[in-house]
Structure 1
């Protein structure tokens, strides 16, 4: 499995770069990356992360479809717009992440031999929230990803996945860049953004 982690990490950096640039290439690269990470996480018994990668494959396809279907078809190189949620609309997303983390952590703790079940569940639940928000082009997805990355760096370092931990440190920096870039590219303030 030694070749899998560096390959998946490289695809992860490329995927995130494409996402920051709002390029459609992010989605096929993301599908390849999540497939490799599913194998890696199953091998080290991080079952929540394993399941997360399988769901990410589906969410990658959804994001690809959403971005394509919500762009201005009259303009060849147009993109779906970035949407600001604002704090009031962000709070329910965070609540879903917290409840999901608690439920998944309890299940993993009681019914599996998972290591770090609650921390693993936290990164899983909030990653699902962030990924769906990313697919819908909600600006605040980057803030949720920043929180996930901070926790993931510690979890993966503890599990001896040092390359992946380093990758998440790079992801953290790239997510800060992504938030700044998407905010600059967005057309509306949170109060004026249309609901999607």
Structure 2
């Protein structure tokens, strides 16, 4: 399944945002951490650069994490709530180095509203395409990071936050070798 480029970018940003709280660690502990995250994600628009903004993004992160593991109906309700709360009005825009894509808020809207709306708009495409099963939690037993599977054969099981896939493959290899030795 291929989504529009802006949808894939927004979905990856959602994954990266949710995973800032993966495995009991919070890599959005400060306004500076948020600055770095937004720069890495190339997220534009106005900012207040204060603790209230950081708290609102963390609330959004929790809401998106719940949505990620939700059933389709619950996800749709959450998406609609995000869009209503931000008073979203979709429009086609072109800015910076980005070609035509959808925005549903103004650049002056609060950061969490802009982020939530972009996430919601992307997840709208996922729900409409009946591709919710591409939104997963890492298959590693000791990891709670989320995974976006955009592979053709739906085979992505592990997150990109650490070495989960490598550890799982090594463990399976060792288990096979141990079984052969019996």
**Could you say which structure has the higher helix fraction?**
1
TM-score with structure 1 setting the length: 0.30
